Structure 1
Amino acid sequence: MAGKSRFVIAEARIRAFFKQSSRKAFSKTQLASIFEEQRTNWNLAQSTTSEKFIDQLLKKEVLYLTEVIFDGYVKSKKLYTTEDVSVFQVATSLISKSYLSHYSAVWLNNLTNQVPKTVYITFEQSKRPLADRTLTQAAIDAAFARPQRRTGASARYKEYTFLVLNGAYSNRLGVHTMDTVPVTNMERTLIDITVRPNYAGGVSSVLESYRNALGKISVNKLVATLDSLNFIYPYHQAVGFYLERAGYSGKKLEELRARPKEFDFYLTYEIEEKDYSPQWRLYFPKGL
């Protein structure tokens, strides 16, 4: 009878390693690094390669192979996951330095009871020199008469849809970690869904998120985050409108209200029937 393989002898320790790891989804490169770092501790045979090691992990069901097929500019990915991996851990393992945003962050920050089936994954562009930031009323009117720009990369994973968003560089402003998953905090999330309301169910859903954030957020932090993001468009008008409609009051809201408002602005794209707030110089959907 052949003796036990060294992998089998070390199997309990290998299982414990992956069970105790905060990471639940791995690329082949990451597993190869773990193999090199731990092979001595696990006393694996010199003839064992990282490929053979990964094969054993799958054969013994320590990990499971998951393939995510993307449409668009993102390449399809293979991940090796633990049995208890969450959809959000899979999502943020697909692209380096990515984080969850928009409606995914709304849900993770407990700003909605609706369980989203679309997972929004943001990765940031490289830092670039500031482009021409000249703004005109005609340019604003033309931009918001068109549909909101949509992402060009998506994938199906179980009952979920992954959407990959190529965000502007912010040095991950407002990104923190919740249950091992990088996600935007409440203040950054509210700003992101103000900018792209269709990634959060539309303006009514955005307003609901502001209402649910009442008493949970720092308006000072919200405004500081908005200012740091340095948008060309006057999103302070939209943020102030949402805050007021959601029932906020206080000095910071008054400061927003007092800020110069050089242009009429829009709460969302392609508004068919408009109302207008003179106070915020803002068009918004009738009935909101």
Structure 2
Amino acid sequence: MPYVFYKRVKAKDVPVAVMSESATFNNVLAPASIRKVYDALRNQGYLLQRVTLSEFTRYILSPEEGLFRELRLVRKYDGKEVVRLIPRSQPVSPYAIALSLSTHAYVSHYSALYLHGLTLNVPKPIYVKSRRTKAKNPPHEAGELTQEQLDSAFSIPARMTRNIYTFDHEGTTHEVYLLEKSAEIDNGITKVPAPHAPSGIAVSGVEKTLVECAVKTNYAGGAGEVLDAFRRARETLKILRMMQLLKNGHYLFPYEKNILFYMDRAGYSEQQKNLVKERSRPDRKGFTTYLEKNMHGRLLDPDIGIYYPQGLESE
């Protein structure tokens, strides 16, 4: 495309400028980030004022320029396609591609366990939480929960999201589980370095990851994987921060018992476990809850008041 850039701009500097701005988005461009790269280059005096966003997009996609190509992500249940732009000549993190599906998204659950080194397994799906389009229901008032309601909720299989996207990248087909989170401001999110992600990967922090995995073990490889993660986090886990994040979640069910079970089986000290007990809701202590949904061959821990799958024993 002739005359996209000012003549005073050296030709060799143009791709550098484009890729420098693209790095802010880990070199994965959605429509909104294409616009931001375009605006940045205009403000820096690279682009001619008459060049439109469409012309700029055609320029960076031009095979002659060799900058970007299209990557298609397909939603499995209805075939809906989402197009992202990725570099032709630079590797890109699959986590960055997955995060581009939603604004304000972060890597969660099993994938977050992997990024934090809390599992030896490499999860095949990539789990990502995205902003909920509608506000979450108001927090449940104390006293709403009954034992019958709790028993019924955990007697059925865990629901799995239908919002699953696939994309082919560097010879591998990836699946992205796009989960919803609250529309409220989120805490407990951090960034970690990752290969081919110059801006880092947004991920739930260790404490938030363990809370979310304790709540939804079906997205974390099961209770055994969550228990192993608690073992690996034992020396560094910030328990008070974890309990504050649990409180902020306004969960109806007494998931503090799930956390206490994992800590007990993972060999945490009595002092550490007391931090959980002291911050457990008094109105939930009398309930008997469940570590997972739809368990078979379950056992009861009467001290904590929780059913758990056979095989989850102490160290």
Fold agreement, TM-score > 0.5: yes
Whether the aligned pair in 2 keeps the contact of 1:104 and 1:116 (CA below 8 Å) is: yes
Aligned match of 1:120? 127
CA deviation after TM superposition for structure 1 residue 73, in Å: 7.9
**Structure 1's 210 and 74: CA in aligned 2 closer, same or farther, altered over 3 A?**
farther
Q: Determine which of 110, 115, 129 is the counterpart of 1:108.
A: 115
Whether the aligned pair in 2 keeps the contact of 1:103 and 1:120 (CA below 8 Å) is: yes
Greater mean alpha carbon deviation, residues 26-35 or residues 158-167: 26-35
Pairing 1:181-220 to 2, within 5 Å after superposition: 181-220=201-240
Aligned match of 2:92? 85
Whether the aligned pair in 2 keeps the contact of 1:13 and 1:42 (CA below 8 Å) is: no
Aligned match of 1:178? 192
Alpha-carbon distance between aligned partners in 1 of 2:115 and 2:202, rounded to the nearest angstrom = 10
Greater mean alpha carbon deviation, residues 264-273 or residues 43-52: 43-52
CA deviation after TM superposition for structure 1 residue 182, in Å: 1.3
CA deviation after TM superposition for structure 1 residue 12, in Å: 2.7
Unaligned 5+ runs, structure 2: 194-199
**Structure 1's 11 and 140: CA in aligned 2 closer, same or farther, altered over 3 A?**
farther
CA deviation after TM superposition for structure 1 residue 168, in Å: 3.1
> Higher helix share goes to which structure?
1
Pairing 1:1-288 to 2, within 5 Å after superposition: 5-7=3-5, 10-20=10-20, 21-23=23-25, 24-39=27-42, 41-45=44-48, 48-59=51-62, 60-72=65-77, 76-82=81-87, 83-125=90-132, 126-130=134-138, 132-133=140-141, 134-158=144-168, 159-179=173-193, 180-257=200-277, 259=280, 260=282, 261-288=285-312
Unaligned 5+ runs, structure 1: none
Percent of pairs with identical residues: 25
> Helix, strand or coil: the match of 2:226?
helix
AA aligned to 1:254 is N
Whether the aligned pair in 2 keeps the contact of 1:66 and 1:78 (CA below 8 Å) is: yes
CA deviation after TM superposition for structure 1 residue 132, in Å: 4.9
TM-score (norm 2): 0.83
TM-score (norm 1): 0.90
1:77-103 deviations in whole A, cap 9, x for unaligned?
211123322111111111111111001
AA aligned to 1:168 is S
Whether the aligned pair in 2 keeps the contact of 1:257 and 1:279 (CA below 8 Å) is: no
Whether the aligned pair in 2 keeps the contact of 1:10 and 1:43 (CA below 8 Å) is: no
CA deviation after TM superposition for structure 1 residue 113, in Å: 2.0
**Structure 1's 220 and 227: CA in aligned 2 closer, same or farther, altered over 3 A?**
same
Alpha-carbon distance between aligned partners in 1 of 2:79 and 2:203, rounded to the nearest angstrom = 20
* Backbone CA RMSD of aligned residues: 2.4
Alpha-carbon distance between aligned partners in 1 of 2:145 and 2:79, rounded to the nearest angstrom = 32
Whether the aligned pair in 1 keeps the contact of 2:239 and 2:276 (CA below 8 Å) is: no
Greater mean alpha carbon deviation, residues 148-157 or residues 245-254: 245-254
CA deviation after TM superposition for structure 1 residue 130, in Å: 1.6
Alpha-carbon distance between aligned partners in 2 of 1:287 and 1:37, rounded to the nearest angstrom = 56
Alpha-carbon distance between aligned partners in 1 of 2:80 and 2:10, rounded to the nearest angstrom = 35
Alpha-carbon distance between aligned partners in 2 of 1:128 and 1:244, rounded to the nearest angstrom = 32
> Helix, strand or coil: the match of 1:39?
helix
> Helix, strand or coil: the match of 1:22?
helix
Alpha-carbon distance between aligned partners in 2 of 1:132 and 1:41, rounded to the nearest angstrom = 51
Greater mean alpha carbon deviation, residues 96-105 or residues 29-38: 29-38
1:244-275 deviations in whole A, cap 9, x for unaligned?
11111142412434644111000001111011
1:192-247 deviations in whole A, cap 9, x for unaligned?
01001010111111111111112121122212221222211000000001011111
AA aligned to 1:262 is G
CA deviation after TM superposition for structure 1 residue 32, in Å: 3.1
Whether the aligned pair in 2 keeps the contact of 1:214 and 1:248 (CA below 8 Å) is: yes
Count residues with an aligned counterpart: 286
